[in-house]
Amino acid sequence: MHTKTIAQLIEGLRSKEFSSVELTRHYLQRIKERDGTYNSYITVTEEAALAQAEAADQRLAAGDDNPLCGIPIAHKDIFCTTGIRTSCGSKMLDNFIAPYDATIVENYQKAGAVMLGKTNMDEFAMGSSNETSYYGPVKNPWNTNCVPGGSSGGSAAAVAALLAPAATASDTGGSIRQPAALCNLTGLKPTYGRVSRWGMIAFASSLDQAGTLTRTAEDSAIMLNAMASFDAKDSTCVDEPLEDYTAKLGDSLQGLTIGIPEEYFGEGLNPQTAERVQAAIKVYESLGATTKSISLPHTHLAVPAYYVIAPAECSANLSRFDGVRYGHRCDDPKDLADLYKRSRGEGFGDEVKRRILVGTYALSAGYYDAYYNKAQQVRRLIKQDFVDAFNQVDVVLGPTSPSPAFEFGAKSDDPVAMYLEDIYTIATNLAGLPGLSIPCGMVDNKPVGLQLIGNYFAESKLLNVAHQFQLATDFHQQLAPETA
């Protein structure tokens, strides 16, 4: 059962090949037996999952036609779940149980999906290797000496190790797409505002976007159908008409123009990774698409701008974790200052502290114009680069990350090297565009990701461009060793 895609599982449930309870039990059993190796889950919600599966079976028996009814999924531990701990990968929230569900959690519940548990992640989604989690690092199912990418490393490892057919995730600078690339998955970050942020613990509010990690583009489309909604509880949510994201999956790529940004193939890109991406371009050409070299001239400014804006926003977003109302509180505070200093000092890990410090500095009197304002100006230029590009092309194509999965510890002492992991993905968040990563081959038995970037709210087209590639190739069908 576990090798099936969601599309296949839906068939299985409808044809009564297996029930949701059987399917759910099977995944729970696999998690129990295998997740000791990967550490992809922080919390497994066995009882609740089985109860939801039973309810789903009843709905199915009653003729429920919601595709996700009875399908087990995992949620990144950044999404609040009523009555179940939401840790955000941090000691700060090790004891935090929200009295509300994230809108996307609610959406999946309504669709009848079954929650298997909450997946591991970099602390407060800050990291590209899943090494900053309070709950320990997650291992890459393709090579357990390597990182799965981050920050949605737990979600990626769970899906790649076939411990969940799909998982929710979040992407602030590449946190869905980079782990998708490193774990041979399809990772979709929708347009900013397409999916509600309510109940998703904020890292950088203007960049955070929830999305999915699946094994195929078709599964992404099915997952997005349930996830996307307009939500009045999130002021930044956009009231765009919803569509059936599977509807365009059969469209031909004839006449499609793909833009290849020259800046995405420069120094820093692993030559073998570049070869796989070039080979993918050939596949697209064979499918009838036209490719066109384009320029995104401000690409080199994306990482520096991001590492001002994201920390600035996070420095304020994380101020609420003060030990006063919930979360970690130090023992026997002497006074107010002591309560703040020790609660935050003990509750946050190094990377979180580093970003809070950077953000606080960037917003300080006398530095605001030089950093925050300048970064916002750069952000507008980057956005304009894409607006110009989409006047000429339908999608933009490039590598997802500069190189395949690296070993634990390889970059953890060098924050800047770690930050460069997201060099190709960050601009998409700064511009608010939808981005997607799909498998496009292997380098040293490690997966390589191909990134596709679409225009605003062009998820349908983007998913079809990915789907057509997956119809023509079998990279995405390859499974991590010892998972079948």
Question: Sign of the CA dihedral 147, 148, 154, 157?
Answer: negative
Single out the segment in contact with other proteins by CB under 8 A; choices: 196-204, 219-227, 246-254, 407-415. 196-204
Closest CB to other proteins among 197 and 476? 197
DSSP 124: G
- Grouping H, G, I as helix, E, B as strand and the rest as coil, residue 21 is helix
Per DSSP, helices labelled H in 363-484 are: 374-390, 415-419, 426-431, 459-472
Owner of token pair 């839906």: 10
- Regarding 307 and contact with other proteins (CB under 8 A), the answer is no
Are 157 and 35 a contacting pair, CB within 8 Å? no
- Grouping H, G, I as helix, E, B as strand and the rest as coil, residue 225 is helix
Supply the residues annotated as catalytic: 76, 151, 175
Single out the segment in contact with other proteins by CB under 8 A; choices: 153-161, 194-202, 297-305, 346-354. 194-202
Owner of token pair 């929650």: 115
- Regarding 264 and contact with other proteins (CB under 8 A), the answer is no
- Regarding 386 and contact with other proteins (CB under 8 A), the answer is no
C-alpha distances in angstroms, 183 versus 113, 190, 223?
23, 19, 19
Closest CB to other proteins among 57 and 171? 171
Q: Which of 35, 171, 234, 263 binds other proteins (CB under 8 A)?
A: 234
Q: Which of 365, 391, 413, 416 binds other proteins (CB under 8 A)?
A: 365
- Grouping H, G, I as helix, E, B as strand and the rest as coil, residue 422 is helix
| Least spacing, CB of residue 364 vs other proteins, in Å | 6
| Least spacing, CB of residue 227 vs other proteins, in Å | 16
| Least spacing, CB of residue 224 vs other proteins, in Å | 20
Q: Which of 66, 144, 270, 360 binds other proteins (CB under 8 A)?
A: 360
Q: Which of 37, 252, 286, 319 binds other proteins (CB under 8 A)?
A: 319
β-strand partners of 449: 439
# binding residues, other proteins (CB under 8 A): 44
Non-local (6+) Cβ contacts of 322 within 8 A are 339, 340, 343, 344
- Regarding 202 and contact with other proteins (CB under 8 A), the answer is yes
Closest CB to other proteins among 124 and 475? 124
Q: Which of 364, 377, 477, 478 binds other proteins (CB under 8 A)?
A: 364
| Least spacing, CB of residue 435 vs other proteins, in Å | 19
Distance in angstroms (rounded) separating the CA atoms of residues 484 and 479: 7
Subset of 387-446 contacting other proteins (CB under 8 A): none
* Buried/exposed code over 432-464 (b: 16+ C-beta within 10 A; e: otherwise): bbbbbbbbbbbbeebbbbbbbbbbbbbbbbbbb
| Least spacing, CB of residue 177 vs other proteins, in Å | 21
Torsion, Cα of 56, 61, 65, 68 (10° steps): 30
- Grouping H, G, I as helix, E, B as strand and the rest as coil, residue 400 is coil
| Least spacing, CB of residue 363 vs other proteins, in Å | 4
Q: Which of 198, 245, 306, 390 binds other proteins (CB under 8 A)?
A: 198
- Regarding 312 and contact with other proteins (CB under 8 A), the answer is yes
Non-local (6+) Cβ contacts of 187 within 8 A are 152, 156, 169, 171, 176, 177, 179, 180, 181, 211, 212, 213, 214, 436, 437, 449
Are 122 and 240 a contacting pair, CB within 8 Å? no
Question: Within a 10 A sphere around the Cβ of 48, how many other Cβ atoms?
Answer: 16
Closest CB to other proteins among 337 and 416? 337
DSSP 82: T
| Least spacing, CB of residue 266 vs other proteins, in Å | 31
- Regarding 370 and contact with other proteins (CB under 8 A), the answer is no
| Least spacing, CB of residue 118 vs other proteins, in Å | 13
- Regarding 204 and contact with other proteins (CB under 8 A), the answer is yes
Strands 290-294 and 209-214: unpaired
| Least spacing, CB of residue 209 vs other proteins, in Å | 13
Question: Within a 10 A sphere around the Cβ of 361, how many other Cβ atoms?
Answer: 14
Distance in angstroms (rounded) separating the CA atoms of residues 204 and 356: 11
Closest CB to other proteins among 79 and 108? 79
The site string for other proteins over 323-342 (x = CB under 8 A, - otherwise) reads: -xxx---------x---x--
Q: Which of 44, 138, 159, 200 binds other proteins (CB under 8 A)?
A: 200
In total, the chain counts a number of residues equal to 484
Strands 186-189 and 209-214: antiparallel
Subset of 68-127 contacting other proteins (CB under 8 A): 79-80, 86, 88, 93, 96, 98-100, 102
In the complex, which residues of this chain contact other proteins (CB under 8 A)?
A: 79-80, 86, 88, 93, 96, 98-100, 102, 197-202, 204-206, 232-236, 312-313, 315-316, 318-322, 324-326, 336, 340, 360, 363-365, 368, 372
